């Protein structure tokens, strides 16, 4: 076959990876578990349908797994009893790979446990770290059989076809088209619900770089190392005499940009289910309203100075959770959305509690501090939430893809924040500021450990949200109000807070819910049995048949 005829044949091939699933939203591996689409996943599929409304298809091949079948139904209306075109073929060979012991595991936990390279090898080839399931050869053989026996014959008959399947199935077909070696084992990073055309596969993957993709993943998964490297760099520059007074507004901009990137990948459309969760509401009310206000009242009653350790501790106790907590939740294997719910609710609670604590503990600049706290905590988080929610509605495929691919940028932006504030650190005040900073970092972890829900699927998220306060906001408030001692304690607190993130990585092993936990099917809406759909895969597609619209 000539290059021109090959290109013409492939120009009639389209492939779609299903929309975001419930397992995608919590960063867990679905494999052959039947995870349905999320709200965003359905919006992504609707976007594909609108973009290809005038495209004619003769045949659609679809995996029987619900997330792929739902995507195909939204795009092509395959369950419409009046629809007669295109013909639909449900083929079990298009099911995702059975990942065995990796199924329902957190991707980040696996990457931390086995290393990025080994994780990539397990997902794209074979690895001793994955037990059970399909070998890569078994997976490749069945997808290749579909490619040779179904897909290519249909294209050679002059049909325009679409394959609606899963990440690793679509990537494997792309490898067949590109004639890549079987031993090549790295992720092509094809996004959810993007219509890929066969003759343009080269352009889709030309910018994918195995080494750089692994570096980006390493930055996200090993964020404690990156943050501590930022601390070390800032401290060394400070010791060397590089003292820079960075504008608080620049620091705020870094915080906003990091928040936007982090939230792009969060399932915001399902936020209500977590924001209205009674357990989350109780935790927030106790941790971010009652506890800090009572503590601040005691500080005021004792007539402690606004620069005292007790007054500063009260401010940190009232500080809402940071968007950093969402990145940490993802990296530690949490569900992410419960952490976001606490970030949002604690930021809203800060309108009352943070303002009340500042009024009770500060002796001057109270009004500006309260206004700044409302703007930088409640205002920023709420504004970013509304912005990203709108972006996900208007451009669901691009926004989710951006958030997934640029998680490392959020980590680097926060690291830049850390470096810049370390340049303002008063090293001569070590004996004055370091002890209360260490006490605050340790104390907040003790509070989080005491208030987290026991043996709950959200336990890790509870702990993470309450452990990482928005110290960045405290730095900005202190800088804008001229509260030098508070600013120095806040900056010093960054050191033990991120050094202790190594402890959090260890402690999270006792909090994360195991992949075989009986609650996951309910949480992720996984049915007990795979529904039977379409005609048998063994039926010869060249024989007359009734389109499958069941």
- Residue 2 is predicted with a pLDDT of 54
Contact predicate 6/154, CB 8 Å: no
Running DSSP on this structure, what letter comes out for residue 183? T
Q: Which two tokens stand for residue 439?
A: 């006490």
| Cα–Cα dist 372/374, whole Å | 5
Name the β-bridge partners of 197: 14
Contact predicate 526/103, CB 8 Å: no
| Cα–Cα dist 502/508, whole Å | 10
| Cα–Cα dist 79/22, whole Å | 22
Identify the three-state secondary structure at position 14. Answer: strand
| Pairing of β 87-90 and β 59-62 | parallel
Angle (deg, nearest 10), helices 353-361 and 309-318: 170
| Cα–Cα dist 434/418, whole Å | 16
Identify the three-state secondary structure at position 469. Answer: strand
The secondary element (H helix, E strand) that includes residue 163 is strand 161-165
Task: Give the pLDDT band (50/70/90) at residue 538.
Answer: very low
Task: Give the pLDDT band (50/70/90) at residue 312.
Answer: confident
Q: How crowded is residue 239: how many other Cβ atoms within 10 Å of its Cβ?
A: 10
Q: Phi and psi (nearest 5°) for 103?
A: -60, 130
Instruction: Write the pLDDT tens digit of every residue in 466-506.
Output: 998 888 778 877 877 777 888 888 888 888 888 898 899 89
Contact predicate 86/538, CB 8 Å: no
Residues near 512 by beta carbon (within 8 Å), at least 6 away in sequence: 106, 109, 332, 333, 334, 460
Running DSSP on this structure, what letter comes out for residue 95? S
pTM for the model stands at 0.85
Q: What is the CA radius of gyration of the chain?
A: 26
- Tokens 């760099």 belong to residue: 233
Instruction: Write the pLDDT tens digit of every residue in 161-183.
Output: 999 999 999 989 988 988 877 66
Running DSSP on this structure, what letter comes out for residue 21? B
Q: Which two tokens stand for residue 89?
A: 């073929």
For residue 548, pLDDT over 60 is answered with no
Residues near 265 by beta carbon (within 8 Å), at least 6 away in sequence: 400, 403, 404, 407
Task: Give the pLDDT band (50/70/90) at residue 266.
Answer: confident
For residue 536, pLDDT over 60 is answered with no
| Cα–Cα dist 519/344, whole Å | 25
Question: Any idea what the Cα angle at residue 357 is, between residues 355 and 359, rounded to 5°?
Answer: 70
């Amino acid at each position: 076959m000539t290059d021109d005829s090959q290109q013409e044949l492939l120009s009639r091939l389209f492939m779609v990876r299903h929309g975001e699933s419930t397992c995608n939203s919590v960063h867990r591996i679905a494999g052959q578990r039947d995870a349905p689409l999320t709200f965003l996943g359905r919006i992504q599929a609707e976007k594909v349908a609108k973009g290809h409304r005038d495209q004619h298809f003769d045949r659609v091949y679809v995996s029987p797994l619900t997330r792929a079948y739902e995507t195909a139904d939204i795009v092509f209306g395959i369950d419409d009893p009046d629809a007669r075109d295109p013909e639909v073929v449900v083929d079990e060979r298009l099911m995702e790979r059975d990942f065995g012991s990796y199924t329902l595991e957190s991707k980040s936990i696996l990457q931390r446990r086995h290393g990025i390279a080994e994780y990539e090898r397990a997902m794209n080839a074979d690895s001793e770290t994955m037990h059970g399931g399909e070998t890569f050869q078994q997976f490749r053989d069945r997808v290749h059989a579909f490619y040779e026996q179904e897909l290519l014959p249909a294209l050679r008959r002059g049909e325009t076809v679409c394959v609606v399947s899963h990440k690793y199935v679509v990537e494997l077909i792309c490898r067949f088209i590109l004639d890549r070696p079987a031993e090549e084992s790295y992720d092509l990073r094809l996004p959810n619900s993007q219509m890929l055309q066969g003759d343009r596969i080269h352009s889709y993957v030309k910018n994918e770089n195995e080494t750089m993709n692994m570096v980006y993943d390493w930055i996200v998964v090993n964020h404690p190392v990156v943050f501590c490297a930022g601390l070390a760099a800032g401290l060394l520059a400070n010791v060397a005499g590089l003292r820079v007074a960075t504008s608080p507004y620049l620091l705020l901009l870094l915080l906003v940009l990091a928040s936007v990137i982090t939230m792009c990948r969060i399932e915001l459309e399902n936020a209500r289910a977590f924001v209205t969760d009674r357990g989350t509401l109780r935790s927030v009310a106790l941790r971010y309203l009652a506890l800090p206000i009572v503590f601040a009242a005691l500080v005021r009653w004792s007539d402690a100075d606004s620069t005292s350790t007790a007054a500063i501790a009260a401010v940190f106790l009232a500080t809402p959770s940071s968007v950093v907590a969402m990145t940490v939740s993802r990296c530690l294997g949490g569900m992410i959305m419960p952490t976001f719910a606490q970030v949002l609710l604690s930021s809203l609670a800060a309108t009352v509690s943070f303002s009340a604590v500042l009024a009770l503990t500060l002796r001057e600049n109270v009004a500006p501090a309260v206004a700044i706290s409302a703007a930088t905590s409640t205002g920023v988080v709420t504004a970013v939430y509304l912005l990203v929610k709108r972006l996900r509605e208007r451009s669901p495929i691009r926004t989710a893809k951006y958030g997934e691919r640029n998680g490392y940028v959020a980590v680097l932006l926060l690291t830049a924040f850390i470096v810049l504030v370390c340049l303002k650190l008063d090293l001569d005040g070590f004996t004055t500021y370091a002890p209360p900073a260490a006490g605050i970092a340790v104390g907040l972890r003790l509070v989080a450990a005491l208030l987290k829900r026991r043996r709950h699927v959200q336990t890790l998220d509870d702990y993470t949200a309450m452990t990482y306060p928005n110290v960045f906001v405290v730095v900005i408030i202190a800088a804008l109000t001229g509260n030098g001692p508070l600013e120095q304690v806040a900056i010093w607190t960054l050191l033990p807070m991120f050094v202790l993130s190594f402890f959090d990585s260890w402690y999270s092993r006792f909090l994360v819910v195991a992949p075989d936990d009986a609650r996951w099917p309910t949480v992720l809406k996984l049915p007990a049995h795979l529904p039977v759909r379409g005609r048998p895969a063994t039926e010869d597609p060249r024989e007359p048949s009734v389109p499958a619209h069941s």
